[in-house]
Amino acid sequence: MKVLASAPAKIILFGEHSVVYGKPAIAAAIDLRTYVWASFNEKRAIKIEAKDIKVPGLTVSFSENEIYFESDYGKAAEVLSYVKQAIEIVRDEADKNGKGITVSITSQIPVGAGLGSSAAVAVATIGAVSKLFGLELTPEEVAKLGHKVELLVQGASSGIDPTVSAVGGFLYYQKGSFEELPVVELPMVVGYTGTSGSTKELVAKVRRNLNDMPDVMQPIIDSMGKVVERAKEIILANYDSRIKFELLGKLMNINHGLLDAIGVSTKGLSDLVYASREAGAIGAKITGAGGGGCMYALAPGKQSEVATAIRIVGGMPMITKISREGVRIE
Ligand code: PMV
């Protein structure tokens, strides 16, 4: 028996970093997915194959006949720890400790780009392995286990990534709980700098800055929270889409400035943000932890111009859509 499950990437529309301090954030699933096949094996081992994880690098092999990891790419080792934890958590949940599991992964999501590739692979693995064991988990239950995986691997996480990946659509997220918002079809372009930042290090950097200068930093974090509240009001309001996009674009630009102020932007990210605005985007900002990774632009009627501008300044544009679907069994 072989089970195939998939889970989407996400972008954080508003509120990254401030969400770590209990402020709300708004995130959406997008139409890039990770696919995981799961089956039992006779060797009572965990076997992970991930031949097309989209990061340049090496083949990684793990010892002691316990874990075999085949990948042509580097950041593979990091992905491995999410997959391994996800399998073990579900195996414990199903009380089937000795069972050998083989998972095979293919992914459309670039690793380390701030698009939630680790959460997507964890969520898709939980989906596939739980189904293999005959567990019927709801997307919320998958999200909770995905958050547990992140905490075990990263040490700290708000849980927003696995929640969006498991549930799909548009979510307003705060302190572990979420509210589904109506899906607004945003004409956007995601721009990948081609470099990656470490979420763990960036979260630690913001915390250091906050500890060093709370009087300066706390109001910025508070403002980020207010940006998210305004964005939620606009998403829920009965405006026509032109007004909605204009107001959301304004908030994106403010949120980008605040993220720059807390120290998570880079020249590469700013280049893509300003090139997008000059090419006609109404708003453009970092998405995710920053330090490299991705930005996104809101560009009604100008998506191909913005994509070209991003490419000219050295980025990789992706014209993506919001995905209503979270984790699913294929
Ligand atoms: O690196 P990403 O895209 O998964 O962003 C993480 C978002 C942060 O707010 C920076 C951290 C978190 O745990 O919420």
Residue nearest to atom 5 of ligand 1 (CA): 288
Query: Which residues on adjacent β-strands are paired with residue 311?
Result: none
Q: How far apart are CA 140 and CA 136, in angstroms?
A: 12
Active site residue 260: no
Query: Would residue 53 count as lying in a domain?
Result: yes
φ and ψ at 257, to 5 degrees?
Answer: -60, -40
| Beta-strand relationship, 46-50 and 67-70 | parallel
Question: How buried is 136 (Cβ within 10 angstroms: 0-12 exposed, 13-18 middle, 19+ buried)?
Answer: exposed
Q: Give the pLDDT confidence score for residue 198 in this predicted structure.
A: 83
Query: Would residue 22 count as lying in a domain?
Result: yes
**What is the Å distance from ligand 1's center to 60 Cα?**
26
Tell me the three state secondary structure of residue 188: strand
Residue nearest to atom 14 of ligand 1 (CA): 158
Q: Which atom of ligand 1 is nearest to the CA of 12?
A: 3
Nearest alpha-carbon partner for 325 in 164, 215, 208, 85: 164
Q: How far apart are CA 11 and CA 324, in angstroms?
A: 13
Query: Would residue 144 count as lying in a domain?
Result: yes
Contact predicate 29/325, CB 8 Å = yes
Nearest alpha-carbon partner for 187 in 250, 259, 233, 248: 248
Among the candidates 137, 165, 181, a domain finishes at 181
Range of the domain at 241: 188-318
Q: Do residue 92 and residue 36 come from a single domain?
A: yes
Q: What is the DSSP letter of 183?
A: P
**What is the Å distance from ligand 1's center to 179 Cα?**
18
φ and ψ at 172, to 5 degrees?
Answer: -100, 120
Q: How far is CA 87 from CA 32, 92, 125, 242, in A?
A: 22, 9, 7, 45
Nearest alpha-carbon partner for 48 in 74, 66, 34: 66
**What is the Å distance from ligand 1's center to 199 Cα?**
6
- The CATH number that applies at residue 174 is 3.30.230.10
Q: Do residue 17 and residue 146 come from a single domain?
A: yes
Number of H helices, E strands in the chain: 9, 12
Of 52, 161, 240, 260, the catalytic one is 161
Q: Do residue 147 and residue 240 come from a single domain?
A: no
Query: Would residue 165 count as lying in a domain?
Result: yes
Q: Do residue 173 and residue 229 come from a single domain?
A: no
Question: How buried is 85 (Cβ within 10 angstroms: 0-12 exposed, 13-18 middle, 19+ buried)?
Answer: buried
Q: Which atom of ligand 1 is nearest to the CA of 18?
A: 9
Q: Do residue 163 and residue 242 come from a single domain?
A: no
How many other CB atoms are there within 10 angstroms of residue 88's CB atom?
Answer: 16
Please, what sign has the CA dihedral across residues 22, 28, 33, 37? positive
ipTM of the predicted assembly exceeds 0.95: yes
Contact predicate 59/67, CB 8 Å = no
Query: Would residue 329 count as lying in a domain?
Result: no
Among the candidates 181, 204, 235, a domain finishes at 181
Q: Do residue 91 and residue 198 come from a single domain?
A: no
**What is the Å distance from ligand 1's center to 154 Cα?**
11
Q: Do residue 198 and residue 137 come from a single domain?
A: no
- The residue behind tokens 């290090």 is 201
Query: Would residue 234 count as lying in a domain?
Result: yes
Q: Which atom of ligand 1 is nearest to the CA of 160?
A: 14
DSSP alpha helices (H): ranges in 95-138?
A: 117-132
Mutate to test the pocket of ligand 1, among 147, 199, 228, 265 (most ligand atoms within 8 A of CB): 199
Q: Which atom of ligand 1 is nearest to the CA of 157?
A: 13
Residues having CB closer than 6 A to ligand 1 are 12, 16-17, 19-20, 114, 116, 157-158, 160-161, 199, 203, 288-289
**What is the Å distance from ligand 1's center to 318 Cα?**
20
Q: Which atom of ligand 1 is nearest to the CA of 159?
A: 13
Mutate to test the pocket of ligand 1, among 10, 11, 12 (most ligand atoms within 8 A of CB): 12
Question: How many domains are there within the chain?
Answer: 2
**What is the Å distance from ligand 1's center to 45 Cα?**
32
Structure tokens at 8: 């989407």
Q: Give the pLDDT confidence score for residue 196 in this predicted structure.
A: 83
Contact predicate 92/152, CB 8 Å = no
Q: Give the pLDDT confidence score for residue 322 in this predicted structure.
A: 93
Does the reported pTM lie above 0.90? no
Q: How far apart are CA 272 and CA 269, in angstroms?
A: 5
Q: Do residue 279 and residue 312 come from a single domain?
A: yes
Give the pLDDT of the chain (330 residues) as one tens digit per residue. Answer: 899 999 999 999 999 999 999 999 999 999 999 999 999 988 778 888 876 554 433 333 333 333 334 443 445 566 788 999 999 999 988 877 778 899 999 888 887 788 998 899 999 999 999 999 999 999 999 999 999 999 998 777 789 999 999 999 999 999 889 999 999 999 999 999 988 888 888 989 999 999 999 999 999 999 999 999 999 999 999 999 999 999 999 999 999 999 999 999 999 999 999 999 999 999 999 999 999 999 999 999 999 999 999 999 999 999 888 999 999 999
Tell me the three state secondary structure of residue 288: coil
Q: Do residue 20 and residue 139 come from a single domain?
A: yes
Q: Give the pLDDT confidence score for residue 130 in this predicted structure.
A: 97
